[in-house]
């Protein structure tokens, strides 16, 4: 049950787009369309930004989009804003009926 692999950090200037990758295996990311993404600001609980690979919950900005190809899922943030600076985690359902998180990515707005 290894953690999904994410880049440790990604940065961009305001208005730019950034993409965070999340790599797993056929037993998790590649096997199901059940990848979700969470935003976490310091000292706060995580908040879901994307679920089922591409879906946005009500109230989440359409600047956040999700996708998947094979065993790798991606979160793209377009029109980067200062408030987007946070930690981001992917998560996936697994073939063992468990869940697994990604290693986490710190997004910095330059």
Partner 1 sequence: QVQLVESGGGVVQPGRSLRLSCAASGFTFSNYGMHWVRQAPGKGLEWVAVIWYDGSNKYYGDSMKDRFTISRDNSKNTLWLQMNSLRADDTAVYYCAKDRWGRWELPSPYFDSWGQGTLVTVSS
Nearer to partner 1, 29 or 91 (CB): 91
Nearer to partner 1, 34 or 78 (CB): 34
Q: 48, 60, 72, 78: which one contacts partner 1 (CB under 8 A)?
A: 48
Alpha helices in the chain (DSSP H): none
Q: How far is the CB of 69 from partner 1 (least distance, A)?
A: 20
**Which letter, b or e, does each residue of 74-107 get, where b requires 16 or more Cβ atoms within 10 Å of its Cβ?**
bbebbebeeebbbbbbbbbbbeeeeebbbebbeb
93 interacts with partner 1 by CB under 8 A: yes
Strands 105-109, 64-69: parallel, antiparallel or unpaired by DSSP?
unpaired
* Residue 9: count of CB within 10 angstroms of its CB: 12
For residues 50 and 56, the answer to whether their CB atoms sit within 8 Å is yes
Nearer to partner 1, 53 or 109 (CB): 53
15 interacts with partner 1 by CB under 8 A: no
Nearer to partner 1, 13 or 59 (CB): 59
Residues that bind partner 1 (CB under 8 A): 1, 3, 34, 36, 38, 40, 45-48, 51-52, 57, 87, 89, 91, 93, 96-104
């Amino acid at each position: 049950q290894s953690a999904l692999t994410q880049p440790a950090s990604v940065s961009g200037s305001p208005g730019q787009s950034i993409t965070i990758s999340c790599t797993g295996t056929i037993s998790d990311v590649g096997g199901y369309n059940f990848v979700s993404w969470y935003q976490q600001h310091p000292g706060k609980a995580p908040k879901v930004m994307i679920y089922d690979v591409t879906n946005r919950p009500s109230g989440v900005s359409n600047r956040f989009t999700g996708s998947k190809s094979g065993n790798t899922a991606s979160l793209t943030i377009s029109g980067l804003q200062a408030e987007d600076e946070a930690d981001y985690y992917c998560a996936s359902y697994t073939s063992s009926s468990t869940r697994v998180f990604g290693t986490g990515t710190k997004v910095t707005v330059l």
